[in-house]
Amino acid sequence: MERERGGTVADMPGMVVVNSSWSVSDLSHWMLGVDGIGEQVVIQFAVKLIAPFLALRARLQHKAGLRASPESKGAAAYAKIGSILGDSRTVWRFWGLLPIFQWLISLERSPPATRALLTIERLQGWSMLAYYPLEHLSYLLSHNIIPSTLPSPLSLFSSSPSGKKKLIKLDAGKLSLWSTRFWAVYVFLHFAHLWEDRKLLIQRGRALKKARGGSGLTVEERRDMSGRWDAFWSEVVVNLGYLPLTIHWSLEKGLIKNDVWVGVFGLVAAVTSFRSGWKATALPPPPPAPPAAAPAPSASPAATEEKKEEVEEKVGATGYEL
């Protein structure tokens, strides 16, 4: 069974403040951001939908006598692109343990708002400490980079009477299964994380209203809360997209019988995650322009005429003429 994972635990849990100004620099920053190659996730799942569509079109055209072969070269090409993107993202994740260690250290130095969030994020971090090495071993084994049998670490401290070292047999399929199961643990835990995030957002909104005495939030406060809720619901959609995939890849026989649904769920999660990352890395909106100064009131014609007569009288008293 093909086990190309469409997503990683690139987005650390936690709420992000979303800004509304988007630019090309924001897009490029997100593409090279924490997911390493963020746009590749979208492309990878998109081609998973395009390839079966092209294959189906080729079969229908063949039955209708419009083409000689039921095979689609385009579908095969798109499938290869998806496989290459999956490989590149897996290789990129070889550095995935470093930010996990940094995250776990930062948790202890600057713990989250509640004890429940601290416990959840600790468990999520530990699940990733198991996920990454197992995925790395599975990938290296499947590409024949490392041997499938390795000497047991226990053989370093003890020797058998025959002098033979104890060997450990590694199975790429089983390692892949267990790595995805630890990823599934992360996804399930993230639902608990989102529940805690929701409670904190509700508390924050109530506190802001209470501080205002029920008079309503300012424009900046409304924008801030809207951005936080938008980020929250985006995380919900991403997690719901990855949930069936992690369950599917965690089972030996799989859960989803039609791979098109793998592409659908993955694409929904990837596009939503891409959108959130783009908005989260956007520049802050420009400050509002200061109000224009009010124009000076113009004098009435009668007042202007009186002023002119007054000036003429003063000048006439000096003996000069205007």
For 110-125, the pLDDT digits (tens) are: 999 899 999 999 999 9
Number of domains in the chain: 1
Q: Is residue 316 domain-resident? A: no
> For 198-210, what is each residue's pLDDT tens digit?
999 999 988 888 8
- Which range among 124-138, 151-165, 202-216, 252-266 shows the weakest confidence by mean pLDDT? 151-165
Q: Is residue 310 domain-resident? A: no
- State the average pLDDT over residues 144-164: 71
pLDDT of 154 above 80:
no
- Which range among 24-38, 130-144, 146-160, 293-307 shows the weakest confidence by mean pLDDT? 24-38
**Alpha helices (H) in the chain, listed in sequence order:** 24-31, 38-63, 73-92, 97-109, 115-142, 172-211, 219-250, 259-280, 301-316
- State the average pLDDT over residues 73-89: 88
Q: Is residue 320 domain-resident? A: no
- Which range among 165-169, 286-290, 312-316 shows the weakest confidence by mean pLDDT? 312-316
Would you tell me how many other CB atoms lie within 10 Å of the CB of residue 54? 18
Could you tell me the residue range of the domain that residue 243 belongs to?
A: 24-155+163-284
For residues 239 and 194, the answer to whether their CB atoms sit within 8 Å is: yes
pLDDT of 286 above 80:
no
Q: Is residue 293 domain-resident? A: no
Q: Is residue 226 domain-resident? A: yes
pLDDT of 87:
86
> Confidence class of residue 183 from pLDDT cuts 50, 70 and 90?
very high
Q: Is residue 169 domain-resident? A: yes
* Ramachandran bin of 49, using left for φ above 0, alpha for ψ from -120 to 50, beta for the remaining angles: alpha
Q: Is residue 315 domain-resident? A: no
Q: Is residue 56 domain-resident? A: yes
> Which of 57-71, 144-158, 272-286 has maximum average pLDDT?
57-71
> Considering only CA atoms, which of 147, 139, 144 is closest in space to residue 87?
139
CA dihedral 99, 100, 101, 102 (to 10 degrees): 50
